[in-house]
A and B are shown apart, each in its own frame.
Chain A
């Protein structure tokens, strides 16, 4: 024992480990900040470590060239023992990291922890947030499958619209005038060298700031931050109630990190990695490429935005949002910290999150993208075939053949770009149906020149049968008379 201690002391004399501990893991934090609300930062750090370790392992197999990237992922998925699991860990690690860094940011914002003297901590944190997003963004491109195209396309179209530097920036990122072989190398370099190095550098500063300025005490309603007195007050709080971060204060961090680790390990084992959905070959793209979940809201925003608004958003709104993010601590530098005294901040968070989630949901449903195979691959359900005449059957076949189904679902099955046609006859009369089909309108192409008179008759005959059970079809007086004339014998 004594011998061990002597060896320890020998090292401590030289490395000053004891002092290092006192200033880092052993530094004193206010008792109140050992809270379940304060665990997200350390959990994000855990994710980063997982990403670094799994990322290095993946890099041993991954080949960053367009013709081999996809194949090397398939090799990991299907051949290399547990290669799929490695991919799963990296995939879920990234999902959790994006989620946790976002929660961390929101929590800091809600608790007013960015206020004096932690402005710089917030700014570096914001940069870390952006770097994490950048990692996720370039990471999904590494799959280099059809979905990866989305990432490349969107970033290129964003950069391309920046004034002055636009063209040069896209050229730099793509490694040429178009998305090509060089592009993947550029994204790879960003993903494994440039952004991680930046991220680690920023993280060192971030942690240094946390250690120097101390962890903010748990906010109390009525207690205001005054830049003139805050430092002294904080020192007193630590003096009075301070505990060591490790081992006393950090127990909750350890527990939460363990839970996150377990969640990642389980998600990777039970759900697994995202299977690449086909090589990024433009001639193969059958469906609209779709990003990973954290970009669904951006994806939806760009899909839903009127095209003439896009440039405005890219050139003004997005940079402004970033500037605002960094400026937060200067916009509200002191004052109350507790959320109950800052309704504006709470409302802002609710608004932004609701907006993001709504858009993300739209992104999941993506009603704007037609379903390319519906016309031949989504059956007309038997209940729309039963009890219908030969002409009406023909109409249903025309509906498929003219690919109306790619935009229009029948009772939920089919494209979602136009309204579901299952109850259309309850809404529209025969004449209105004819007009809609011939003239189109409201994002529907006009079919006047692409349908023969017979096809129109058959189509409309089928559409008029599509009314909800027990509900009368929409009719005008003329069609009542017509059908009364025509009906003897026919059903």
Chain B
């Protein structure tokens, strides 16, 4: 009679033990069709980390992992960029409707995930006076001579100490005026870099570039000035991405 509970306990331990053996397939490893993946981290790792870096930082393309980016980004615009890509730049089309691999649902998950922040989001109090991350339509394209002069001025104030007086490279930043670079980058990407910065590579954002934070106008001006160095108007990236 006494053995019964013991026996029961043994069977229980054995059964539970078997269930936690390392050979037991982990449902997490279960194969998922690529179109069924709904985990933001996994989607980001498979489709975006190649260019934007493992955690959104330290990659060759735009820094999406900065908490500042998460705080300032407009999720609708982010979703549009992921879906449609940026023509003339290496940012590819991801929507299935455009020949990409991601479903509508996955595009939403990515946009929401980036807005929530790959590394958290900056608190609102530190964003006071931040220039809008997305340029308004019509702001650029036909920059006036006056704007270019203001842009050159802003460049000298905020950027020259690192990127050199001429913009062709300096003490702690490379050339910004290489035709091939400007030819493959959109004004929006330049704008994002100026506002968010690349802290991962030692470039401050709009708040830290100079002695005082840059104004929204200065950001637009400096981007227009950089853009004016494109080798030809036909450069793929010169007229795109901003609606």
Which residues of A does B touch, CB under 8 Å? 74, 77-78, 81-82, 84-85, 88, 145, 267-273, 275-279, 284, 286, 373-380, 382, 385-386, 388-398, 400-401, 405, 452-455, 457-458, 461, 489-491
Contact = CB atoms under 8 A, between A and B. Distances in A.
Contacts of B51: 376, 380, 396-397, 400-401
B34 interface: yes
Contacts of B178: 389-391, 457, 461
A390 B180 CA distance: 10
B174 A390 contact: yes
Given A376-B51, A458-B184, A490-B168, A272 B236 contact: no
Contacts of A276: 31
B193 to A, nearest CB: 9
For B19, B61, B91, the residue with the greatest tally of chain A CB atoms inside 10 Å of its CB is: B61
B23 A397 contact: no
Nearest to B181: A391
A82 B25 CA distance: 10
Give the top 3 A-B pairs by smallest Cβ distance, nearest first: A389-B174, A272-B23, A490-B169
Given A380-B50, A380-B59, A400-B90, A272 B174 contact: no
Chain B interface: which size bin? Answer: 35 or more
Given A268-B23, A385-B58, A458-B180, 18 more contacts: A74-B30, A84-B24, A269-B21, A376-B47, A377-B46, A377-B50, A378-B50, A385-B59, A389-B181, A391-B175, A400-B51, A401-B92, A453-B180, A457-B179, A458-B184, A489-B164, A489-B166, A490-B174
B101 to A, nearest CB: 9
Contacts of B22: 269-272
Contacts of B50: 374-380, 400, 405
Interface in B23-37: 23-25, 27, 29-31, 33-34
B14 to A, nearest CB: 11
Nearest to B183: A454
A458 B236 CA distance: 15
Interface string B57-93: 0111100000000000000000000000000001110
Nearest to B164: A489
B49 interface: yes
B176 A84 contact: no
15 contacts: A84-B23, A85-B23, A277-B31, A376-B49, A380-B51, A380-B53, A390-B181, A391-B174, A394-B185, A396-B51, A400-B60, A455-B180, A457-B180, A490-B168, A490-B174
Contacts of B200: 382
